[in-house]
Amino acid sequence: MGTEHYIAELLYRYNCVMVPEFGAFLTQMESAVINESNNTFSPPRKTISFNEQLTSNDGLLVSYMADAEKMSYEDMQKKIAWVSQQWKLKLEAGEKLSFPNLGELWRNQEGKTQFQPSNEVNYLTSSFGLSSFVASPITREILKEEILELEEKVPFTITPEARKERSNRPYFKYAAVILLAVATSFTGYRLYNENVNTQQLVRQEAEQQVSRNIQEATFFNTAPLELPVISLNISSPKKSAAHQIIAGAFRVKENADKKVEQLKEKGYDALYIGENEYGLHMVAYGSYSNTDEALQELRKIKASESSEAWMRSVK
């Protein structure tokens, strides 16, 4: 596969792909386009351009091609440099370079590089599957003109009788509105009274039911039951250990378990106390409820076992 094919693959993910010692292919977002001349709608896309001033090696193309063709970075860098040199020689000779899915490159009469991008591929992945379509024009204006022509052909005259009849119509409208408002008010008032009466009946029935339940729960004819005597042994809670002398913290749980066994063999009441906020497994020489006793034991451990031991107080 040629170098231009790898460039096209990278343009789907990157906005700039530089070819060392040759130039850079750039992409830029372009919004959806409406062509008013032929009513064509085109989806958003990435347009391609070429800049011959960007000739440095950013490592993107070389690394991608070296990984794809199973070559070393240095060998691939030499290969791309050779390809770039061949492209330059062809441009200087007046030839036109045609890159599939990218476009065409050539030199004009003034010696400047020209680039014509290809529109066959849309490098915008979010527009995948979208294609251009043509919309037929709406004939809304034509129908409007036909209606106006029909209105002009229909004769329309106003007689004195019709004018008199129309002048009386507003009064009938006002009277109808007033009657409708009065009827609505009367109906609403009647419904409101019925709703209030219903709520009062429901409240009275609920109060009577509650009263009956209270009477049934309060008065009884049978003698009360004798409850058996239960004796409870209540012991005062033991004070939990408030201080722990830490022997170490380990990334792996198995190492923490080994440390506990080693300390127990030495006579310590060692124990695993769980993970700290950093995810390390903590091991303690022992736990103590008395502060003075814990400090005294800490001094002994620092002198005989490890100077890095420290005391952790649990609230």
Residue 238: pLDDT band with limits 50, 70, 90: very low
Query: Can you tell me which residue has the tokens 């037929």?
Result: 136
pTM: 0.40
The C-alpha R_g of the chain, in whole angstroms, comes to 47
* Residue 22 burial (10 A CB sphere; 0-12, 13-18, 19+): buried
* Residues whose CB falls within 8 Å of the CB of residue 268, separated by 6 or more in sequence, listed in order: 285, 286
Residue 22 and residue 105: Cα distance in Å, rounded? 12
CA distances (Å), origin 72, targets 8, 203, 296: 22, 91, 64
Least confident of 68-77, 107-116, 164-173, 183-192: 164-173
C-alpha 304, offset from chain centre: 56
Question: If you average pLDDT over residues 46-69, what whole number do you get?
Answer: 88
What does the pLDDT look like over 219-233, one tens digit per residue? 444 444 454 545 555
Give the pLDDT band of residue 195 (cuts 50, 70, 90). Answer: low
Distance, in Å, from the CA atom of 184 to the CA atom of 267, rounded to the nearest integer, reads 94
Domains with residue ranges and CATH for the chain = 3-134 (4.10.520.10), 243-313 (3.30.70.1070)
